[in-house]
Structure 1
Amino acid sequence: MCAADIPGRGPFYTYDEYVAQRIEVPSFTPDGVFVALRGGDWIGMSATSLRPEYAFSDMTGVLAAHRGRHLSLALKLLAVRFVRAAGHRRLVACHHAANIAAIMMNRRLGFVDRR
C-alpha cells in the first residue's frame, strides 16, 4: 500500500514472504498496528514492534492521495502512545535519506538522527 513510495524500495514481498518475514517473527506486535480508514478503505498505517531493549517503528505511511492532512503524524503519535504504555522508553525508526517528509516528522517528534 504505502510501501510503493519508499525510495529505493525494490520488489514487493509475496504474501507468503511478507507473513514469514514480518508477521511470523517474535518481534511482531499486533497491538502496535494502527490503520487509518476512509470509509472502509485503508489509507494509512503505522506498525511498531516491541523488542527487549527498544521499540521499532516498522512502517508509517499514508497513500499519496491522502497526504498533507497530518495523518502520518497522528498514526506516529498513536505508535508513541503504544510504546510508552508498553513500558518502553526508546523508539527507533529508519528512513531512506531521500524520505525528507518522514525524517522531518520524526525530528518534530523528538527523534534524534544517528548515522
Structure 2
Amino acid sequence: MKKQLLFIAVLLCACLAGSCKDDDPAAPDSLYMHSTSGTVEAVAGTQSVTIYTTCGWKATGDDWITIEPLSGGEKGIFAVHLSFGANDTGALRTGRVVFEAGTYSETYTLTQKAQ
C-alpha cells in the first residue's frame, strides 16, 4: 500500500513538474484524494488524508473534527491530519470534511465507532 502511494506521489510530481511552463495556459483546477472515507475506533486519535491539487485549496468539516492544515496556497501533495476526541455518545458518528480547490471539491467521510 505504501509503495503504491509513493509511486502515485512520484508520478504525480513528475507530471506536475514537467507540465509547468511560463507560456502554458493555466491548468484546470483539480483535486484528488487517495481515499474518500475512513473508519476509526471510539478512542481519540488522528486520521491522515493525502490530497493532490493543481492550485490552492481549503478544507472545512464537522465540529468534532479538527483539520490541520486548513488550507494550502499552491499546487502539490499534502498530508492533512483529522483529529477527533473520544466518541462517548453511545452511537456511531459520521463526519464530513470538504476539500475545495478552485471550483472543484471532494468530500472525505470519517466514521467513528461508538464505545
TM-score, normalising length: structure 1: 0.28
Indicate the structure with greater helix content.
1
Max Rg structure: 2
- Of the two structures, which has the highest relative contact order with CA contacts closer than 8 Å and spacing of 6 or more? 2
Indicate the structure with greater strand content.
2
